[in-house]
Chain A
Amino acid sequence: MSDIILDSWEWYIAGPLLGAFVPILLLLGNKQFGISSSLLHFCSLILPENSKKILRYDPHENAWKLYFVIGIAIGAFIAVNFLSSDQIAFLPEKYYEFQGLIHLFAGGFLIGFGTRYADGCTSGHSIMGLSLLHWPSLKATLAFFAGGLTYTYLVLFFF
Chain B
Amino acid sequence: MKIIYGICGVFFGIVLTKSEVISWFRIEKMFRFDEAHMYLTIGSAVVVGAISVWLLKKVQQKSPSAIQFNFAGKTETKGFVYGGFLFGIGWAITGACPGPIFSQIGAGEWPALFTFLGAVLGALFFSAVRDKLPQ
Contact = CB atoms under 8 A, between A and B. Distances in A.
Interface of A: 5, 8-33, 35-36, 38-40, 42-43, 46-47, 54-56, 63-65, 67-80, 83-84, 88-92, 95-96, 100-134, 136-137, 139-152, 156
Contacts, number: 459
B117 A108 contact: yes
A32 to B, nearest CB: 6
B5 A75 contact: no
B127 A91 contact: no
Which 9 A-B pairs give the minimum distances between C-beta atoms?
A71-B9, A147-B88, A75-B13, A108-B118, A117-B83, A112-B122, A114-B87, A143-B84, A15-B44
Nearest to B74: A119
Contacts of B72: 32
A112 B112 CA distance: 14
> Chain A binding site: helix, strand, loop or mixed by DSSP?
helix
A80 B17 contact: yes
A112 B37 contact: no
Contacts of A139: 76, 80-81, 84
Interface residues of B, dominant DSSP: helix
Contacts of A22: 48-49, 52-53
A148 B31 contact: yes
12 contacts: A23-B49, A30-B70, A75-B106, A90-B107, A91-B112, A101-B114, A109-B119, A111-B87, A113-B126, A119-B79, A131-B53, A147-B85
A39 B121 CA distance: 9
Given A15-B44, A108-B90, A90 B22 contact: yes
Interface in B87-135: 87-99, 101-109, 111-112, 114-128, 130, 133
B82 to A, nearest CB: 6
Chain B interface extent, by class: 35 or more
B66 interface: no
A33 B77 CA distance: 20
Given A40-B123, A116-B123, A147-B92, A9 B53 contact: no
B62 to A, nearest CB: 15
Contacts of A42: 120, 123
A156 to B, nearest CB: 8
B20 A39 contact: no
Nearest to B110: A96
B102 to A, nearest CB: 4
Nearest to B70: A30
Contacts of B30: 148
